[in-house]
Chains A and B, each alone.
Chain A
């Protein structure tokens, strides 16, 4: 089973915190769509008939593409790869692209009906906050009213909806954050992704904080927000299945889960990464170079081969973020007894400190997991459990 990710590298305007690859000029949109199709054609044999379970439009802002363009890309997936009968097809969308104004084609059809019509069955909406001041601070393209309206409209057509929310925004109180969570819950959607605001290097946000225009992000507040989030969503039957992802039973993101479970995926588009179980490759993060290369039938990508140690480390790193943890049986099978011994010995300290636990609820399938207390420290712990390649 495999997933296909399509990267749509355009945005209306740059959010202040964002370090993804995108361009705010839509000039190359047509060429890009052609290039995406070309890339799929060139890589059609890479999945070796392994059936595609999920298709994911990410970005950037995929909702900047027309329904027609999205339709042609989905068609290209079907043409070049074997797809299972009922694949999960997700579209990331921003509220400002999903307003009433964006009626398409036949009079009465809303954008949501149009999306549904081309096979999209899961919407991921970039809400981030329901407060005007937060949206301004982050330079989002939509306003608070659009945020609420578009979810309302979306729920009329889609049931599999997820929204993004950001916490730990400078100035955001615990009460404000709780209101955001409650507003989100009021729409009765089955999935929420929620991220701590992160100050990435070389972003506008970093500059503003340096200059004192924006208050620095406070880890302690972020941690409180995280706790509120975890507790509240739990009360509402959400399962906290990955550090930043909460879904009701049956509504986890299949596409994203694949990343954490070490499944194969094909990333199409500039800056997209692919993984085949042994190698990871990534495309050039530059729209013009990407388009030009594909016009010349050349894949603009680099590859690295993952060593056993690399794969072990990735298993730990992703595993500790998820509800599935790190399966000790799998470590033994994939890497050997030695690795398992090392892992258990190295984890001991964290188990004693109550940051890790071995879940024996299925005695034949023991799993190493972060505890509620350890989750927000998962990277530091993972790093400590890593092995180092011998140079």
Chain B
């Protein structure tokens, strides 16, 4: 089977993120970047699926030339080839979904795996738009399957299960009070939740091999997509600073403060 997985470049959550004083965006200097963690989970799931059913994992990323780093990372994990949509400048979730739609039409995968959301913009929209544009079924927030196998074996098995006839896919999603299993016909769009799997490390042989794997370059123009954003970010601001804690002398003083100031007891 052929699986298309998205790999968005996002700020490494370990780096300190500051909003520019004028609220026009974030300070980019000194930031580290990585693949969106949900997308890394998607790559891992794709690799497990093709390990089981044969096939190919193609990764796609949209952005400037720096997103090639994230594509190389996915290739080092084991993805077979990459598609890079070269675009520098503003674009919103609809634009990304429109570009992905064109890539999907070109690649004709059986399955598209996206992250449920990016950890920077946190929109949780692209997967759903894409399914709608393509007219495909969608299973969002794929979570872990229950399995009786050993921890070691369980680790290698995909959580997204192909049905026996390989015509549809079963996905377990976490819902408020338990798990729901949904089935949709292939081709389909699946978005990943955090507990789906634990992505592998990029092995050094994998990193070496990734250097010679092909990255195909496309542009919005080549794909005939107008990415002029419909949504405009007006202002960014930091959450209000937390007030410093205080020390109290003893338990009665604590109780007094909780009672009179915090009014919780």
A and B pair up: no
Contact surface of A with B, Cβ cutoff 8 Å: none
Contact surface of B with A, Cβ cutoff 8 Å: none
